[in-house]
């Protein structure tokens, strides 16, 4: 599932086509994705201007001048593809319609935004902007990693009494928004922390050092366009490239770049964890 860097990369790619533009026409080609689409979605979108395009955790939010926000979750295979606009030195022509183009937004100025999702694990909803924090998908989500509320004191206090493994704690969206399996594995490697260690048995100083490391890893991944392991594409259809600099994730049995010890893979809470048993204690 796309994590924060992939979602942020898509959000940035959507900006030229969506932000400040009116949705001239909305083609809703099926009644549901992972869950039913909102009632009267077509009528509620058409004629609305996108005031701002934001990200909250792993969700994209398009704030409309109607007082509602279009909430988008990409799921496992969802893609939001832009066409009909200039991106850098290139003009992205409209592609032929595809089988899994479930929602197509025709934007003011000729741009088009297509939500394509072969497996339909993604989701879309419309929520009142001033009540979004109460939406069941957003309720209780923790602070953003780049926000002022995510600092050393916050993280230490949030996890210091947790008996769960630190990997599991950092994946908890109530602790910090947007982190997923890939980037937590990379963060813990850089911090030299074994993913199996109980959070409460890690010193406050080591926990505090996680904050800048989290930001560094996410920033580097965003700059690389995210990680393309299966279905992720940027809004212009390009791949992300951060997977080429993974230190541990998906590198089982390959030598650690620091000490040459083979990278180990274990399963925690049903998810693969990758780490160096020598470098991470």
On the question of pLDDT at 179 being above 60, the answer is yes
| Catalytic residue status for 58 | yes
CATH fold match for the domains 4-134 and 152-275: no
On the question of pLDDT at 235 being above 60, the answer is no
On the question of pLDDT at 233 being above 70, the answer is no
**Confidence band, pLDDT 50/70/90 cuts, at residue 87:** low
H helix intervals, the chain: 4-18, 41-45, 152-159, 166-171, 181-191, 204-223
> What residue ranges do the domains of the chain occupy?
4-134, 152-275
* The pLDDT value given to residue 244: 56
* The pLDDT value given to residue 225: 72
CATH architecture assigned to 152-275? Orthogonal Bundle (1.10)
**How long is the chain?**
281
pTM value is 0.88
Task: Give me the percent of the chain exceeding a pLDDT of 90.
Answer: 79
pLDDT in tens, 207-217: 999 999 999 99
* The pLDDT value given to residue 165: 98
* The pLDDT value given to residue 90: 64
Catalytic residue among 2, 5, 16, 143: 2
Question: Which has more pLDDT, 12 or 25?
Answer: 25
SS3 label, residue 87: strand
* The pLDDT value given to residue 93: 79
Catalytic residue among 49, 160, 200, 271: 271
| Catalytic residue status for 3 | yes
Judge whether 82 and 96 are in contact, CB under 8 Å. Answer: no
Catalytic residue among 3, 6, 132, 186: 3
Instruction: Tell me the fold of 4-134.
Output: N-terminal domain of MutM-like DNA repair proteins (3.20.190)
**Confidence band, pLDDT 50/70/90 cuts, at residue 240:** very low
Catalytic residue among 56, 58, 79, 247: 58
pLDDT in tens, 20-79: 999 999 999 999 999 999 999 999 999 999 999 999 999 999 999 999 999 999 998 888
Closest CA to 10 of 162, 194, 269, 231: 231
* The pLDDT value given to residue 92: 72
pLDDT average, residue stretch 244-248: 81
């Amino acid at each position: 599932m796309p994590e924060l860097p992939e979602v942020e990369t898509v959000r940035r790619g959507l900006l030229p086509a969506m932000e400040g533009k009116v949705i001239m026409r909305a083609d809703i080609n099926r009644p549901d994705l992972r869950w039913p689409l909102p009632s009267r979605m077509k009528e509620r979108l058409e004629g609305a201007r996108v005031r701002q395009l934001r990200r909250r955790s792993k969700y994209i939010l398009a704030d409309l001048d109607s007082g509602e926000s279009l909430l988008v979750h990409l799921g496992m295979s969802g893609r939001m593809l832009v066409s009909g606009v200039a991106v850098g030195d290139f003009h992205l022509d409209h592609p032929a319609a595809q089988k899994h183009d479930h929602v197509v937004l025709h934007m003011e100025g000729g741009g088009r935004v297509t939500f394509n999702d072969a497996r339909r694990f993604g989701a879309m909803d419309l929520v009142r902007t001033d009540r979004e924090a109460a939406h069941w998908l957003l309720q209780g989500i923790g602070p953003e990693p780049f926000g002022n509320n995510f600092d050393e004191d916050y993280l230490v206090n949030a996890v210091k009494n947790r008996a769960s493994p630190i990997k599991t704690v950092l994946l908890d969206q109530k602790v910090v928004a947007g982190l997923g399996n890939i980037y937590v594995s990379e963060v813990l490697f850089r911090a030299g922390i074994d993913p199996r260690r109980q959070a409460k048995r890690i010193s406050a100083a080591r926990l505090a050092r996680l904050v800048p490391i989290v930001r560094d890893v996410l920033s580097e991944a965003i700059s690389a366009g995210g990680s393309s392991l299966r279905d992720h594409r940027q809004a212009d259809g390009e791949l992300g490239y951060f997977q080429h600099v993974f230190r541990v994730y998906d590198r089982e049995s390959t030598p650690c770049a620091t000490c040459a010890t083979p990278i180990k893979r274990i399963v925690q809470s049903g998810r693969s964890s990758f780490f160096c048993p020598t470098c991470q204690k």
